[in-house]
Structures are given as C-alpha cells and as structure tokens.
Amino acid sequence: MEDELGKRTRLALQITRTESIADGIQLFELRAADGGTLPPFTPGSHLNIRVPNGSFRNYSLCNNPMDGDRYVIAVKREVGGRGGSISLIDNARAGDVLEVKAPDNLFELDLSAPRYVFVAGGIGITPILSMIRFVNATSDKPWDLYYLTRSPEGTAFLDEIRGMAGPGRTVTIHHDHGVREAAFDLWPVFEEPSKAHVYCCGPRPLMDAVRDMTGHWPLHAVHFEDFGSDLVRPKADDVPFTVCLVKSHKSFEVPVGVTILEVLRNHGIDAPSSCESGTCGTCRTTFLSGEVDHRDLVLDENERKKNIMICISRGRGKIEIDR
C-alpha cells in the first residue's frame, strides 16, 4: 500500500501479544490500537518495523493473509547481527506501540503453480508458514516442506508444522545439530525438475545450495527470500568511513555496524528502501567518487561503477553520493 508519493503507508501498531516460541525466538502479534482492520497482505510479505533502538528492520509475516486484523512475526535474537532483533526482543513489550510500514512483498507466491516445494532454514520458516497457511485455507494444492534447523529446541512452530502434513502434503523436519556433515541432502528433491514452484528462505549457505541444485529448473519457478542473511552482518574488518552528500552539501561518518541508509535516516533524510539486505534494488543510489565495498546481490559489474546500494554496501575512506 503506497501513498501518492510512492511511499508505503506508516502505521502505529500495538503489540498485543508476545511469546517465546523456541530458544531465542520471540513471536509478536501486532494490531491497530482500535482493533480495526489492517492493510491487506499477500503470502510472503514482510513488515518494515522501527525497533526500539531506532533502526528499521524487515520481518516476514507468518500468519495467514486472510487474518484481516493482525500481523504476526517471529523474530530470532541474532547475537552478532546489527542489533535490530536484540532491540526488539529485549526492549519491546506487550502494549507498546511500534512504527510500521504497511506490508510489502518481495517473495510473491505464484498462485498459478500446481504444486509447491518449500525449503526453510531456521527462522526462514516465517514467510513460508504464511504461504502454507494460505494455500491450505484456499486450495487443495499439494506441497512438500523441508524445514531444516539446528535443534528441536530452536525450531519455531515445530508441533504445528508437524501437524500440517496430510494427503499430498509432506513435512520433512531435519536437525543438523550444527554438524556440517549432518546437513540434509536436498539433491534428490531437485534432481528431476517438475512443474512445482520452489520457495526457499533461510541462511545464505542454504540458499546458495538450493540455487546451485536448481540451475536446471525454469528460472521463473525458483524463488528466494534473503532477510536476515549473513550479508547484513558486520564483517570483522569493517571500519568507519565518510559519506558526502554532494547535492545537499552534507557529510556524515558511517560507524561500524551501521549502514549509510541508517545514517541518513538518523539525520532526518528519507531514502527509499525495502529489503534492506541488498537484494531488491530499491535503495540504488548514484555514487560519484570514492571506493565502494559492494555487498549487494543486485548490481552487475558495470552498474557497480556508478551505483551503490546504500542499505548494505560500505565505502573506504570517503565516498561521494548523488544526493
């Protein structure tokens, strides 16, 4: 839902329930303060939420899109991440009001597909659970779910998902206990292409593996979602740098663990964004000089000569951007 300026509508939503649903995973239910209906969403959608420390983070919706009056997210407390999930889990309580942008979808479920293969790694189950809830509520379509996690204790929605299997619908849950050799072998799933559409959400190594294994599948039938991937984590050798906004004659320091986008916002400068993980292309900005450390999955080598994705990429020393 966008306003006349092409920006997503901002909502003030109350946390009406919060619950620990697995080790390090917290569920939040959000509703309008008056309990009224909310902007609709489709399976695979996410919310952009301002967490208590002031930064914005994307979280996939995990409830059924047919729920008209609530949004539900499940958040993993990412130690070593950028601090958004820790801020939300540690500091947001039932009754608090959060600033939220209306749902957006970068991981659309193709409703014309005759069958689905879902692959979820860890907290990547959230958009996929919304998809399954929707498919089950609206059709008899078959699907297969592969839900890969480290341990039963850290697996969200475990009992509910186990109970979703039925005729034509299979659930495979695998725990690797952090042992690489114990990883689930997905090759038998993808060896023979089918008419199914594949939806994969999880850590970067899992998505890379599925991407490699589906190279012989039709491109339009394989879909990925990238929130919370390792891409957005600070790297050990990150250093602060300076970003200069040439048109507005402003310069800011970008500390370690903070993105250019966040620095701009902290100074009251609005910039378009959506995924905030370097995958959607929304925050593309022209850069004019300096050395950029590109970390996105959007720009090709040629485009990188003049563009930077300010939600994720960094600079070295000083960079100038066209703002």
Residue 74 is a binding residue for ligand FES (CB under 6 A): no
Q: How near is the Cβ of 255 to ligand FES at its closest, in Å? A: 19
Instruction: Please give the size of the binding site for ligand FES, defined by CB under 6 A.
Output: 14
Element (H, E) at 195: none
In a 3-state reduction of DSSP, which class is residue 314? strand
In a 3-state reduction of DSSP, which class is residue 120? strand
Residue ranges with strand state E in the chain: 10-22, 25-32, 45-50, 56-60, 71-76, 97-105, 116-121, 143-149, 169-175, 197-201, 222-225, 241-245, 250-254, 284-293, 307-309, 314-321
Q: Which of 195, 42, 48 is nearest to 130 (CA)?
A: 42
Residue 311 is a binding residue for ligand FES (CB under 6 A): yes
131 Cα distance to chain centroid: 15
Q: How near is the Cβ of 271 to ligand FES at its closest, in Å? A: 9
Residue 283 is a binding residue for ligand FES (CB under 6 A): yes
Q: How near is the Cβ of 220 to ligand FES at its closest, in Å? A: 21
How far apart are the C-alpha atoms of 208 and 245, rounded to whole Å?
A: 35
Give the one residue of 27, 298, 308, 319 binding ligand FES; rule: CB under 6 A.
298
- Nearest 5°: CA angle at 276, between 225 and 97? 100
Stretch 234-273 residues interacting with ligand FES (CB under 6 A) = 273
Stretch 106-145 residues interacting with ligand FES (CB under 6 A) = none
Q: How near is the Cβ of 309 to ligand FES at its closest, in Å? A: 5
Q: How near is the Cβ of 279 to ligand FES at its closest, in Å? A: 6
Give the one residue of 63, 279, 285, 307 binding ligand FES; rule: CB under 6 A.
279
Residues engaged in binding ligand FES (CB under 6 A):
273-276, 278-283, 296, 298, 309, 311
